Amino acid sequence: MDVRIGVVQSPKEIEVELPEGTDADKVAAQIEAAVGSDSGILWLTDRRGRRVGVPSERIAYVELNAGSDERRVGFGAAVR
């Protein structure tokens, strides 16, 4: 599962690739809890075991992508 986090006043996004089999509903609940608190930090652990923390007041948006088995890479990736 891929998580893309937009940060306030920054043109860049934070992208975190979570381990396969991660429960999307559980991640969504974790995000809602962090964003709902005034001084919370959203902590996510990626596939390699690295922890990423984003202060909740800096989060502009979060995009969850359960992903598919089909990964499009390179110039020849067809748009369907």
Q: What averages of pLDDT result for each successive group of 10 residues across the chain (80 residues)? A: 92 92 91 85 93 92 73 56
CB 3 within 8 A of CB 27: yes
Tokens of 78: 């067809």
pLDDT on residue 39: 75
pTM of the predicted structure, to 2 decimals: 0.74
pLDDT on residue 74: 59
pLDDT on residue 35: 87
pLDDT on residue 71: 56
State the DSSP string of the chain.
-EEEEEETT-S-EEEEEPPTT--HHHHHHHHHHHHHSTT-EEEEE-TTS-EEEEEGGGEEEEEEE---S----STTPPP-
Domains with residue ranges and CATH for the chain:
2-65 (2.30.30)
